[in-house]
Amino acid sequence: ALLVGINYRHTRNELRGCINDVNNQKSILKAAYGFQDCEIMMLTEDESQSNWPNKARIVEGMQWLLKDARPGDLLFFQYSGHG
């Protein structure tokens, strides 16, 4: 699973709930679908700055999500932010 939450902190377009959205989704994926932490990539502004959800990191995250995919696998992507 790839979960992207962007609150756009310290900008005039700041949002308040996008990181909460992906944190809640992570909990659901683990509890209801058996995902392990190592099977979930989080890209948020709560992570280290090198892992913030910019275009390059999101593209890398998509590549990570798809690289070992096989027929029958459950893949999940969530984006919470502007646009």
The helix/strand/coil state of 2 is strand
Residue with tokens 């190592």: 38
Residue with tokens 């959205």: 21
How close are the terminal C-alpha atoms of the chain, in Å?
A: 20
The CA distance from 43 to 46, in Å, is: 8
The helix/strand/coil state of 12 is coil
Report the pLDDT value the prediction gives residue 51, as an integer from 0 to 100: 86
pLDDT mean values, one per 10 residues, the chain (83 residues): 95 94 98 96 92 94 97 96 87
Residue with tokens 């646009």: 83
